[in-house]
Amino acid sequence: MVAYQNDVVAQRVTAEKIFGASSFKGKLPVGISEEFPVGTGLKSPELGRLLYRLPGSVGVDPQKLGEIDTLLQSTIDESMTPGLVVLAARHGKIFYHKSFGSQSYKGEVPMENQTVFDLASLTKILSGTAVFMRATEDGIIDLDDNLGSVFPVLKDSNKDSLILRQALSHSAGIKAWIPYYLETLDSESRVPDSIHYSSIFSDEFNIEVTDSLYLLSSYRDTIYKRIVDSELRKKADYKYSGLLFYLLPDFTLSNYGEDMDEFTKSNFYDPIGAFTLGYNPLEYIDPSIIAPSEEDDYFRMGRVKGRVHDMGAAMMGGVSGNAGLFGSAIDVAKMMQMYLQSGVYGGRRYFDASTLDRFNKRYYLDIENRRGLGFDKPQLESDRDSEQRPVSALSFGHSGFTGTYAWADPENGLLYIFLSNRTYPDMSNSKLVKENIRTRVQDLFYEAIID
């Protein structure tokens, strides 16, 4: 390969071509040798990887992006979150990727584009839903299966006859959540008790919650039993619930012979080049680039950094389909772009287009349920207090408790990622949520589209 300039642009374009983000189509303007005469050149196709381009090249007004900068900076100035990273792409080309603020309000460590965040419920679409989609393609499950046949632990329970399609749409009447950790705290001191926890790892206490707090190895069965025994809501209308996703680690191990973290990393994240995506990132990522999630004074009694913020997932050893995934904005974007490209990324097919279509469909509009299967969808006009927004009915994504958001719109090729640690140092800080910062920024990106 010949690149005639040694500057930042030439280096970036050269790398993009090597990795297949853009195609080779140049020819030598001079002869190098008999083996490489004038006009020598190879053509290669684009492999559908994300690449960086100027806003104008993808029909985005660069002047409008200044309003986004202003809003994001005010988000930091008004202490809605210590820091954040935002990425936006159109037609597979990243035209905006910026970081604001710091990892904490003290400002010691600036937020950077490669900072890794606790993705919270983005786990549901980047991990849990991916497992469900793969299992349907492999013929292991069908969307019309009863939950008892998909998850043997639910056999003969009140959830046995519930349909998987309903459950993934959050319309099966399953309880919203269970605060498992409260039952493991000392009744007087309200700290983790000595019955359920040990400060030393052993066969009996082998679920690592922190580096000095290990949960009873049998407690995973207790979590499953709590899910099995939980009452159903009286009305099977739309109610967001993450309980089903807690059962996915056992499902993955039983059906694929791999732990869920290993399965998702080997089948999705590593092949797609999303090397920061994964569970328990302290095992493979420099802690200095991981944003802290909270100063926990109610369960883990210390800083939560590089360990899942969600208490239930923490009691599963950091791995669940509900929460636990970490990653940087660019790596979240790679998975979302793969979904946006109907299951293809980097020249490799991960899912059939028909699978994405089935999961990105609203099946229960008759009960005013906006959700797809695993994926969130835009608000319905009938939703109370809903505002008219520019996102299309084909768009999909999810939000996360820690201040994260990922959304893709097939109608205009727009991809949008918002990552923050708004729960640090205290998860009661809900300014970012109340001010609708994530969706307001998204709307400004839509307004910036000029073609």
pLDDT at 19: 67
Strands 213-215 and 197-198 come out as antiparallel
**Residue 368 in 3-state DSSP?**
coil
In terms of phi and psi (left: phi > 0; alpha: psi -120 to 50; beta: otherwise), the region of 196 is alpha
In sign, the C-alpha dihedral spanning 356, 239, 300, 400 is positive
Strands 83-90 and 93-101 come out as antiparallel
d(Cα 231, Cα 450) in Å, to the nearest integer? 51
d(Cα 118, Cα 304) in Å, to the nearest integer? 10
Which is more confidently placed, 174 or 9? Answer: 174
- Tell me the pLDDT tens digit for each residue of 76-118: 999 999 999 999 999 999 999 999 999 999 999 999 999 999 9
Is the pLDDT at 384 greater than 60, yes or no?
A: no
The H-or-E segment that residue 71 falls in is helix 65-77
Which amino acid is it at 321?
A: G
Give percent of the chain with pLDDT exceeding 90: 86
Is the pLDDT at 415 greater than 70, yes or no?
A: yes
- Tell me the pLDDT tens digit for each residue of 300-317: 999 999 999 999 999 999
Q: Where in the chain is the domain with CATH 3.40.710.10?
A: 65-148+259-309+317-448
Q: Residue 385's pLDDT band (boundaries 50, 70, 90)?
A: low
Task: Name the DSSP class of 261.
Answer: H
Is the pLDDT at 44 greater than 80, yes or no?
A: no
Per CATH, domain 65-148+259-309+317-448 is 1.10.1060.10: no
Axis crossing angle, helix 248-256 with helix 129-137, rounded to the nearest 10: 30
Query: What is the DSSP code string of 281-345?
Result: GGGTS-GGGBPP-EEESSSS-EEE-SS-SSHHHHTTTT--SSS-EEE-HHHHHHHHHHHHTTTEE
Is the pLDDT at 213 greater than 90, yes or no?
A: yes
Mean per-residue pLDDT for 45-65?
A: 92
pTM of the model: 0.93
Which amino acid is it at 264?
A: T
Is the pLDDT at 75 greater than 80, yes or no?
A: yes
